[in-house]
């Protein structure tokens, strides 16, 4: 009998489930802390806790993760340099620390518009190679002809040996700005994705499990796990995609809205007749528009481990994730006493880092490219929690603005603070960890508001639930202003939103919020069994879906009956006859689809392939189409492996 192993690595927990191939039943599930920077320890811990006899019979492993999404949301990705070849997009903001535009690029036909300025590329690389960990390259009309992008990539690789990502490798869609942003974000994610993939492979293979290894993508399909190293950007929203598929699997509902309450973020998405909604314009993450085909979703930086802090008597939630006080108290032996002895913080000095409940510890990440102030502050932060006042006292001066934020972004420091999880401990709703630490923290913070500690925690819980409700309604009503939706969720009006499809909640603390959400929105709210490991279930529920789109255009309008250009993921082709161009596009699309499915372990006979052709021509046009798009789609089910 065969079993499938689903693994989901979140910002706080790594979850695992075993599903029996014969009937799809969940036979075991476990959770363990996600460990930084050594992710393999967390994966090992969760797999060690599963039934080891069943684990021996696993022949399919599929994983999902929110680590990519969290990295981009929190701004903790790798430092990247961006080279734009040819005309620079009108937009000037890019998620890269270093940006240059060099001469080069192609035109709409894929012909060279300008010779590549190799000297400018070399000079830029020499000036940045000690300051970044990866490079992104995006050429003007690089989707039409990637020659210059490939040339720059080879040059950078030779000069630095660092990872290099090209825009044409990620998207064949036009849109120079979006392709450049996509390439940068992909480059930022390479190190953490490599670490995660390598950790999974090493642990699974080390146990003697000879299974097919897959990873869930952000559109709900899967791909070979090694391919994730080349295109980690496709793993953004992999976790939310898993939550949607897992919610459907657990609730047995083909149409539903899903709210996944994670440690770092809350994600809202929807399934209609078993099909997820796909964003038609590309995923938006951390405010950046990309060319990544992903499930349509609403993601906010509000989770169970979001930092709760107070300023001017107002309660703020997030956006950063911290280690909850209740958890920290079980990890650091004297932490509770330190929390009790915490000094009073002047109200007019309070900010996100200066709180009576905020502490910092050093992570195991290696320090690099530090300023003098950063080195000085980091030298004070060790393996035991310290507060801002502790650090200032040891330094005998105030910490310069932005230093702690920079150390957090570089993952050199981990914050500890009050969270929604702590609030649930105080309210005796969720009590897995040290509730006493949560109560001390609530008392310390609430004195800066007009509330007692229980009312303070109740307000935190209501705040989180209201954020969830607002995210849900913003997703359902995308053209309505967020301010209007938030206003209608207040208690000022004798009315509430009505949602006519079930709302499924996933995540460890989901049961704590079902009644709160129901009081704000008129909807059937469901918390299914195994909701706490729904993402790991969803990792196994993804299909092997591959979509290839190839465009054909006449090389010249002066002679539209002969000479055609074919733009495909493998490069630009040229054919004398239109029929030959279409045949090449169709056969190339099928080859790419079958190669993809084979890498997912899906056989040719188990892959359903459809080919469609979309053409554009003016009225009374008697020649071959001005534009032809050949779309080849292949669909296979990796779970068939379990039935062998």
Structural domain includes residue 45: no
CA quadruple 627, 219, 37, 420: dihedral, nearest 10: 130
Establish if 573 belongs to a structural domain: yes
Mean pLDDT of 414-425: 94
Q: Is residue 277 part of a domain?
A: no
What pTM was computed for the model? Answer: 0.71
Which residues lie closer than 8 Å to 267 by C-beta, 6 or more apart? 237, 239, 240, 243, 258, 259, 260, 297, 298, 299
- Give the Cα separation of 494 and 492 in Å (integer): 7
Place 79 in a pLDDT band, splitting at 50, 70 and 90.
Answer: confident
| Domain-ending residue, one of 137, 160, 186 | 186
Q: Which domain holds residue 153?
A: 79-186
Q: CA-CA distance, 545 to 525, in Å (whole number)?
A: 30
Of the three residues 169, 186, 203, the one that is the final residue of a domain is: 186
Residue entry with tokens 């080891």? 52
Residue closest to 634 by CA, chosen among 615, 599, 644 = 599
Give me the number of domains the chain comprises: 2
* Choice between 28 and 145, residue whose per-residue pLDDT is larger: 28
Assigned domain for 580 exists = yes
The whole-number average pLDDT for the span 234-239 is 64
273 within some domain:
no
Nearest to 220 by CA among 637, 643, 571: 637
Least confident of 6-20, 68-82, 342-356: 68-82
pLDDT in tens, 573-592: 899 999 999 999 999 999 99
Task: Please determine, for residue 173, whether its predicted confidence score (pLDDT) is greater than 70.
Answer: no
Can you list the alpha helix ranges (DSSP code H) found in 381-434?
Answer: 388-395, 403-409, 420-426
| pLDDT over 60 (residue 571) | yes
Would you say residue 90 has pLDDT above 80?
A: no
Q: Is pLDDT of 482 > 60?
A: yes
- Looking at 166, 186, 206, which one is the last position of a domain? 186
Write down the mean pLDDT value for the chain.
84
Residue 354 falls within a domain, yes or no?
Answer: no
- Is 529 a domain residue? no
Q: What is the pLDDT of residue 181?
A: 78
CA-CA-CA-CA torsion sign (539, 540, 543, 548): positive
């Amino acid at each position: 009998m065969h079993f499938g192993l689903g693994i989901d690595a979140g910002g706080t927990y790594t979850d695992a489930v075993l599903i029996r191939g014969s009937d799809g039943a969940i036979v075991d599930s476990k959770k363990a802390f996600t460990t930084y920077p050594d992710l393999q320890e967390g994966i090992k811990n969760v797999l060690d806790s599963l039934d080891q006899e069943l684990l021996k019979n696993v022949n399919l492993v599929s994983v999902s993760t929110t680590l990519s999404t969290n990295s981009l949301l929190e701004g903790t990705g790798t430092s990247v340099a961006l080279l734009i070849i040819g005309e620079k997009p009108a937009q000037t903001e890019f998620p890269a620390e270093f940006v240059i535009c060099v001469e080069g690029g192609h035109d709409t036909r894929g012909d060279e518009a300008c010779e590549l300025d190799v000297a400018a590329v070399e000079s830029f690389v020499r000036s940045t190679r000690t300051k970044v960990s990866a490079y992104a390259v995006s050429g003007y009309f690089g989707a039409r002809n990637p020659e210059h992008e490939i040339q720059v990539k080879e040059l950078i690789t030779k000069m630095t040996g660092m990872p290099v990502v090209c825009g044409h490798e990620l998207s064949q869609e036009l849109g120079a700005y979006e392709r450049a942003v996509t390439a940068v974000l992909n480059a930022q994610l390479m190190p953490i994705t490599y670490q995660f993939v390598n950790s999974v492979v090493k642990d699974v293979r080390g146990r003697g499990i000879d299974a097919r290894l897959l990873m869930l993508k952000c559109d709900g399909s899967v791909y070979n796990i090694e391919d994730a190293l080349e295109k980690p950007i496709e793993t953004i929203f992999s976790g939310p995609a898993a939550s949607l598929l897992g919610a459907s699997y657990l609730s047995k509902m083909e149409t539903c809205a899903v709210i996944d309450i994670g440690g770092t973020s809350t994600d809202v998405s929807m399934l209609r007749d078993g099909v997820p909604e796909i964003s038609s314009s590309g995923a938006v993450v951390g405010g950046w528009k990309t060319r990544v085909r992903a499930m349509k979703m609403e993601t906010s930086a509000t989770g169970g481990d979001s930092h709760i802090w107070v300023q001017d008597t107002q309660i703020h939630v997030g956006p950063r994730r911290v280690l909850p006080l209740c958890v920290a108290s079980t990890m650091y032996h004297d932490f509770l006493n330190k929390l009790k002895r915490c000094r009073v913080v002047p109200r007019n000095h309070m900010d996100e880092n200066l709180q009576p409940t905020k502490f910092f510890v050093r992570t195991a990440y290696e320090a690099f490219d530090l300023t003098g102030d950063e080195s000085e502050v980091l030298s004070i932060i060790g393996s035991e929690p310290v507060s801002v006042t502790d650090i200032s006292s040891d330094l005998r001066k105030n910490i310069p603005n932005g230093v702690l934020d920079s150390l957090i972004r570089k993952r050199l420091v981990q914050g500890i603070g009050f969270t929604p999880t702590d609030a649930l401990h105080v309210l005796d709703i969720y009590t897995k960890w040290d509730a006493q630490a949560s109560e001390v923290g609530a008392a310390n913070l609430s004195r800066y508001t007009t509330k007692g500690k229980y009312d303070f925690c109740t307000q935190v819980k209501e705040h989180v639930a209201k954020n969830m409700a607002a995210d849900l309604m913003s997703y359902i009503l995308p053209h309505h202003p967020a301010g209007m939706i938030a206003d209608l969720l207040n208690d000022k009006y004798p009315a509430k939103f009505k949602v006519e499809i079930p709302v499924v909640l996933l995540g460890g603390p989901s049961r704590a919020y079902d009644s709160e959400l129901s009081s704000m929105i008129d909807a059937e709210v469901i918390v299914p069994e195994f909701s706490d490991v729904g993402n790991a279930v969803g990792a196994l529920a993804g299909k092997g879906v591959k979509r290839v789109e190839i465009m054909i255009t006449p090389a010249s309008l002066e002679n539209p009956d002969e000479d055609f250009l074919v733009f495909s993921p493998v490069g630009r082709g040229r054919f004398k006859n239109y029929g030959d161009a279409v045949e090449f596009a169709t056969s190339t699309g099928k080859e790419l689809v079958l190669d993809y499915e084979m890498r997912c372990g899906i056989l040719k006979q188990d892959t359903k392939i459809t080919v469609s052709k979309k053409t554009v021509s003016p009225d009374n046009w008697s020649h071959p189409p001005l534009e032809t798009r050949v779309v080849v789609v292949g669909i296979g089910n990796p779970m068939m492996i379990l039935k062998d």
